[in-house]
Structure 1
Amino acid sequence: MAGPFAPFDQHGGGGPRIREIPLRLMVPNIITVLAVCAGLTGIRLAFENEVETAVIMVLIAAFLDAVDGRVARAFKATSKFGAEMDSLADIVNFGAAPALVLYAYILDKAGAIGWIAALLFAIACVLRLARFNVMLEDGGRPAWQADYFVGVPAPAGAALVMLPIYLGFLGFTPDRGVAFAACAYTVIVAFLMVSRLPVYSGKSSGSRVRRELVMPLMLGVVFYVLLLVSYPWQTMTVSAFAYMVFLVFSVRAYSCRAQKEDAATEDGAGSL
């Protein structure tokens, strides 16, 4: 006898029905669910005045959200269901959670303006993610432009927007004046996310590393992790400022690349 609900279809229809789903197909989805749990827990902790733990939970959610896709590809467990769930989880982890944690910590001191700033950031994250999903299906972009994000990525935006919290942990007093400055900063980050700013993604480097760079890269990653564990808020503050500088170089690199591609196109058209 058929039940009231249709059987769960891991792959979104169109193929043969799988009666037993392998565990490896579930691992990426479990990681995504854990990321959402971490983000929502961060919101709860922020409103319970445990802001430091709340920020850590949001950063953990961002890390898990960044890992699930790679795990899915490594396990050959990608699916339409997982992709859709990951997109919805990004709204919580990179939009709602950072905005509400920031609001609970400092933006609420600015009254309604603080709430408006938090809403604008969350909405900007939703718009950014929607545009990203649409652009994945756009086959008309030149191949070299795939090396660049359009606008600041949502994970980076989530880490950037919490800079006022990092500074607060370092001793800056979160008073009303700082709250209004934090509102302006939040709106700026929201604008960067929905802007057309080209941000280098590093996809052109692929998944391979040159032999002579393996040891320095491993040492650098270990050094950064040790700094993050030993001096978390100093490291996150420096990382946020370093990323802002990186944006400037990213725009310059994109401009130079665009000029070279235009020149190559003109030379090719002239030779015909």
Structure 2
Amino acid sequence: MTDSNPRPGISLRALAPNAVTAMALCTGLSGVWFAMQSNWDAALLSVVVAGVLDAMDGRIARMLKGESRFGAELDSLSDVIAFGATPSLIIYSWALQHMPRFGWTICLFFVLCAALRLARFNARIDADDQPHKSAGFNTGVPSPAGAGLALLPLTIWLETGAEWARDYRLIGPWMLLCAALMISNVATFSWSSIRIRRSFRFLALAGVGLFAAALISAPWVALIAASLVYAGLIPLSVVSYAKVKRTRRATAQSA
């Protein structure tokens, strides 16, 4: 008589995405270690690599059909550390420690907003009524994107050496804005909400290739451009979602 029960243990299919998430956490947190040594290039790259790994883990989980509630919780904890605490501590070590009184408060606020955003995401993960998600949009700026925007002044400084980019009077309000965007209800583009016309597909592929080449030859310029493009897309995403809302409202009224 054969045993119909599955073999005990966890399959590699379920473990693989969680391993990538753990790598993202460790890589992102290593940015703090580099910041303690004033190795700003490596600190910034640690967060960038963590962002790449964070983008991979979910896709690997869906590809291998290894999604789990444990993986979702681990991913959120990793995001708070890699894209909340790490960029905040990097910016504090780099510039905000020189800000009288409120430098550390701003950093704490940024981490808190990252945690609140991810707590909101987890609380709504099984909710049926999610207007932004059902339309393919994110609610607020995702934490990896928020970390990238928060680190934009450091990226500009690494490329240009401009001391104005290190001025805490500029960085303090910028960090507050990035934190507020993460917990806001602003609709922002997700991968599924971006549609490219067939006539522009070759141009889009050429742009991706150009960006990849720039990452190799001029990484800071490429990251600055990506951050500015993303920031510029936020108003467009608000307008695009408003059109979706109007279309849905008209459809509901006609029905």
TM-score w.r.t. the length of structure 2 is 0.89
Match in the other structure for 1:130: 119
Match of 2:163 among 173, 179, 194: 173
C-alpha deviations, 1:28-49, integer Å up to 9, x for none?
A: 1111111111112110110111
- Are residue 242 (structure 1) and residue 232 (structure 2) matched? no
Matched letter for residue 230 of structure 2: Y
The residue aligned with 2:171 is 182
- How far apart in 1 are the matches of 2:129 and 2:48? 35
Partner of 1:258 in structure 2?
245
Q: Which of 115, 133, 143 is residue 104 of structure 2 equivalent to?
A: 115
The partner residue of 2:208 within 216, 221, 225 is 221
Matched with 2:58 is: 69
Residues 199 and 250 in structure 1, CA contact (< 8 A), matched pair in contact too = yes
Give the aligned partner of residue 141 of structure 1: 130
Q: Which moved more, 1:108-117 or 1:247-256?
A: 108-117
Matched, 1:56 2:45: yes
Listed one character per residue, the Cα deviations across residues 212-265 of structure 1 (whole Å, up to 9, x for unaligned) are 666544433222111112111112112212111100111111112212221222
- Aligned partner (choices 192, 210, 217) of residue 181 of structure 2: 192
Distance 1:122 1:53 in 2: 21
Change (3 A) 1:259 1:146: closer
Output the CA distance in 2 between the equivalents of 1:22 and 1:248: 44
3-state secondary structure, aligned to 1:136:
coil
Structure 2: distance between partners of 1:197 and 1:115: 26
| Partner Cα distance (1:247, 1:143) in 2 | 14
In structure 2, the partner of 1:99 is: 88
Q: Is the 8 A contact 1:114 1:180 kept in 2?
A: no
% same residue: 34
Letter in 2 for 1:248: P
Normalized against structure 1, the TM-score is what?
0.84
Give the aligned partner of residue 4 of structure 1.
none
| Structure with bigger gyration radius | 1
Describe the shift of the 1:202–1:25 C-alpha distance in structure 2 as closer, same or farther (beyond 3 A): closer
1:160 Cα deviation from its structure 2 partner: 0.5
Q: Unpaired runs of 5+ in structure 2? A: none
Q: How far apart are 1:136 and its partner, in Å?
A: 2.1
What residue identity is the alignment partner of 2:212? V
Q: Is the 8 A contact 2:83 2:144 kept in 1?
A: yes
Unpaired segments of 5 or more residues in structure 1?
1-15
The amino acid of 1:262's aligned partner reads R
Equivalent residues of 2:132, 2:187 under 8 A apart: no
* Partner SS state of residue 112, structure 1: coil
Q: Counterpart amino acid of 2:17?
A: P
Letter matched to residue 101 of structure 1? I
Q: Distance in 2 between matches of 1:163 and 1:40?
A: 18
Q: Distance in 1 between matches of 2:153 and 2:147?
A: 12
2:163 partner SS: coil
Q: Please say if 1:32 is aligned against 2:21.
A: yes
Q: Which amino acid aligns with 2:123?
A: V
